[in-house]
Amino acid sequence: MRTPSQPFSSWSALLCALGVLFSLFSLGVAVKENDFKKCDQSGFCKRNRAYADKAIAQGSSWQAPYKISPTEATFKDGVFHATILKTVDDKGTTVELPLTVSFHKSGTARVNVDEKQRQEKNIELRHNSQARKERYNEAEKWAIVGGTTVDADAKVSYSGDSGIKIQYGPNSAFEADIKFNPYSIEFKRDGSAQLKLNDRGLMNLEHWRPKVEPPPAEEKKEGEEGTEKKEEPVVEPEPVGEDESTWWDESFGGNTDSKPRGPESVALDITFFGYDHVYGIPEHAGPLSLKETRGGDGAYTEPYRLYNSDVFEYILDSPMTLYGAIPLMQAHRKDSTVAVFWLSAAETWIDITKAKESSNPLSLGKGPKTNTHTHWISEAGVMDLFVFLGPTPQDINKAYGELTGTTAMPQEFSVGYHQCRWNYVSDDDVKEVDRKMDRHQIPYDVIWLDIEYTEEKKYFTWDSDMFKDPISMGQQLDAHGRQLVVIIDPHIKNTGSYSVIDELKANGLAVKNKEGNDFDGWCWPGSSMWVDCFSPSAVKWWKSLFKYSKFKGTMENTWLWNDMNEPSVFNGPEVTMPKDNLHYGSWEHRDVHNINGMTFHNATYEALKSRKKGELRRPFVLTRSFYSGSQRVGAMWTGDNQANWEHLGASIPMILNQGVSGFPFAGADVGGFFGNPEAELQSRWYQAGAFYPFFRGHAHIDSRRREPYLLAEPYRDIVTSALRLRYSLMPSWYTAFHQAHQDGSPILRPMYWTHPSSEGGFGIDNQFFVGSTGILVKPVVEQGKTSEDVYIPDDEVYYNYFTYQKLSTVSGKTLTVDAPIESIPILMRGGHIFPRRDTPRRSVKLMRFDDYTLVVVVSKDGTAEGTLYADDGDSFEYQKGEYIHRTFKLEGSKLTSTDAEGRDAKAIKEGDWLKNMRNVAIDKIIVVGAPVSWADKKEVQLEAGGKQSTVKLEYFKGDANRGPFAIVGRVGARVGADWSIDFA
């Protein structure tokens, strides 16, 4: 969200600060980076990097200390069980690590490694800790919802003392080759190696061992003081064996982590064979195609870090951690995609390096392949990962969606534009913004209230001076078809005469410190406590607070924003909670940190489902912190960005990465949170934001007011046009959300995802397709730029969205498109049909029963296809069949509309919404690239409901400024019914 400002206590402090300010070239970057750990400041990361360096340096002589005992290995009913023996000393002492490899009907494989001694709770905790003794093994309770049904048809193709090979998946095309000594698993598809676990022998599971205290210093006898000889300083020898300096406690930024269980990290290297590009593991402010992390030209020197943190004004092109964590990595090469999902809720670091295979002189015409080596390092928990063998990006997202869930069907209004700032100062201020947006005919759906609406930053209250009548405010918004979002964070003000904190403490529902007492930290309200949403009782209580009868001033059009839920603790280590805090079930915070934000998001989502008896509606909750599975309960945004061109440019790959990582309802603060964008930047940002799945303008409390109507012309008109473009395409956006809900597909689709054979597009992350519409967008993200080079991934025909001109494109090449300030580079790919609603409205709610326009973009071979999905946009009635899902096809001379799922319309029970949709029709059809043979046509034949009629057709010849197209209409055919048009 933002950072607290702290007043200087004296003039000397102020002068000192000014001196530092003028002496540093970039104070902001230095301060932010120094607040957060680098790998060599994180004990377990440093140890495992050193372990990897040692192993790699030894090359083929390295003896990995992990092996499977063949006598204990079994395979039955799709599950392989064994014990990995870790040799821990020169005497051959071993530690037992239970291994389970499960093969699923979904085509995924799961590899789980635990530690027997901890599993059996046969360890001693230090400091009289109340923490659990086991390795954390409950991440799946929060992240996994399906896709783990065991494949009973998986079969052994080879078994011996050296290992076992198991075939599984569709047509037994997948194979896991498990080697016993040293332990490794190579995954193959159609006989070809795709990836390998422990390929380089870097696996390291830090087993429990007791702390050996150093012997006490020998006491001097009476009379011996002062008699000792003065000795020369002794040079300490280099430590032998493992570095124990951070095993038992670790300090950073004035905070000390007590580590009652000692060292417990897990690490594993995973090699992707022949894959040059890897994507995913958000959230980071860098390119979509992930960089190497071990130095070199253009590479990072730090691993990618996943440790959800409140990083304000984050720096760009960095592997530094941000607010959320999705430990899913996809590897892609031409026509092949595979992936790994590392199921850990603990702090995690990932190194990436790439290496060319030794070339075979006999393989003429083929250069050496690139292997991508990755090294995954987590602080705690079991080693638990899933392997996906594709072979397409769509297969990966579908299987991952089965596993962790797909994006929730949203409230339809939430796909519209959101107007926000920190802060609208009063209910009158909100009403005035609402009126001015209407006065300037600027569409929007939601206005937001940041933390200042509360009474002294106490959540579930209203400032009695500035928000005297929140109901009246909500009623005005409702009358205009609009919504209100208010912020509720997980920190609860620790103060008297406040029922929420009283109930939290009385019921024992707060996160505990390491002694088991309620943890008290510092956040916006000052002294605060944090609700522990891992606790079912805490979730039940949290839900009760949102009842309309309890949260006075809220209405049916009030929704929620969860910020600061990493959690952000201003006086905590790395601006978060101490790792030795305790959660429900006595798990340490280190075990669950990256899931914490999702539990709070989930609790709020559950609270909004029903806030009064008989109500059941889709919630809308925005979160800043997230984990795998967060997509099931709402939207996210990329946090506290800055009002500059670089942050505008960075927003595109960040949002694309969210989409391919299974959380597509994503956006960035339009205009930039910190600072004041100039008019050109603000205009270009709205043009880009009009294609963010989550579209919100937001600004810092110290930023100037920047509602769109405050812009001078021509910029106000430019921004308004971008907003109206978003609203006209609302049916296509909602259809894309439905597809994401169905199969996990991204809403904004990068080139590698849509065209997995077009190698020139694999590294492109500044343009995208919108769902399945064929709409290709490349926002302008550089100052003063008036043209864009758009990469064309295939040899299909492309048209200009606004002029319908057929463009001179070449597959695998770029096309220069004019982009003056009033224009967005948007192309339409031939072969697609997408729906619009062209009547301007001020909100989505007021468009609910408007007629539709279909845009048919004719392909090279004269065909086109597309879909429309619609439901009431509010309830869960779609789960009972209360929706419209149509497929449109242009084949030969006929355009048809049929039910996309082949449903019998007569068998669908109509509720109120479907009954109202009987009056909603296809108004007109625009055919882009209409054949010249239509030039003399004046009408076409429509068949609908068993009746035939004629419909007017108007053909427009192309000229220097516009391509040829035809308009059919008014059509008048019901949008939910079968119909056909014959152009013959």
Q: Which residues are catalytic?
A: 563, 566, 640
Residue written as tokens 């092996």? Answer: 67
Helix (H) or strand (E) holding 689: helix 679-689
The values of phi and psi at residue 479, to 5°, are: -65, -25
Looking only at the bridges linking them, the beta strands covering 884-891 and 864-870 are antiparallel
Two structure tokens written together for 200:
């380089």
Measured in whole angstroms, the distance separating CA 941 from the mean position of its chain's CA atoms is 47
- Following DSSP, what letter does each residue of 399-457 receive, concatenated? HHHHHH--PPPPPGGGGSEEE--TT--SHHHHHHHHHHHHHTT----EEEE-GGGSBTT
Q: What are phi and psi of 874, to 5 degrees?
A: -145, -45
Give me the residue label for tokens 């952000």: 568
What's the CA gap between 687 and 557, in Å, rounded?
27
The secondary structure element, H or E, covering residue 31 is helix 27-34
- What is the 3-state secondary structure of 843-865? CCHHHCCCCEEEEEECCCCCCEE
Contact between residue 857 and residue 799 where contact means Cβ atoms under 8 Å apart: yes
DSSP code, position 875: B
Q: How far apart are CA 925 and CA 919, in angstroms?
A: 18
Q: Strand, helix or coil at 280? A: strand
Question: How far apart are the C-alpha atoms of 764 and 759, rounded to whole Å?
Answer: 10
| Burial bucket for residue 363 (CB in 10 Å: 0-12, 13-18, 19+) | exposed
- The distance from CA 449 to its chain's CA centroid, rounded to whole angstroms, is 24
> Residue 523 and residue 266: Cα distance in Å, rounded?
32
SS (H, E, C) 356-415: ECCCCCCCCCCCCCEEEEEEEEECCCCEEEEEECCCCHHHHHHHHHHHHCCCCCCCHHHH
Tell me the two tokens of residue 222. 């009476």
Residue 32 exposed, middle or buried by CB count within 10 Å (0-12, 13-18, 19+):
middle
**Residue 940 half-sphere exposure toward CB, CA atoms < 13 A:** 25
604 vs 510, 544, 946, CA distance in Å?
16, 10, 49
- Which DSSP state fits 569? -
Tell me the torsion sign for CA atoms 530, 533, 535, 538.
positive
> Is the dihedral angle over the CA atoms 175, 178, 179, 182 positive or is it negative?
positive
CA 745 – CA 747 distance, rounded (Å): 7
Contacts of 439 (CB under 8 A, 6+ apart): 709
Strands 748-749 and 864-870: unpaired
Q: Are 478 and 559 within 8 A, CB to CB?
A: no
Quote the tokens at residue 577.
């909670």
Strands 894-899, 864-870: pairing kind: unpaired
Roughly how many angstroms between the first and final C-alpha of the chain, as a whole number? Answer: 59
d(CA 267, CA 500): 42
> Which residues, other chains included, contact 922 with Cβ-Cβ below 8 Å and sequence gap of 6+?
851, 852, 853, 854, 897, 969, 971, 972, 973, 975, 979
What is the identity of the amino acid at 569?
Answer: V
CB 836 within 8 A of CB 731: yes
Could you tell me where the beta strands, DSSP code E, fall in 180-248?
184-189, 192-197, 204-205
Say which DSSP state 128 is in: T
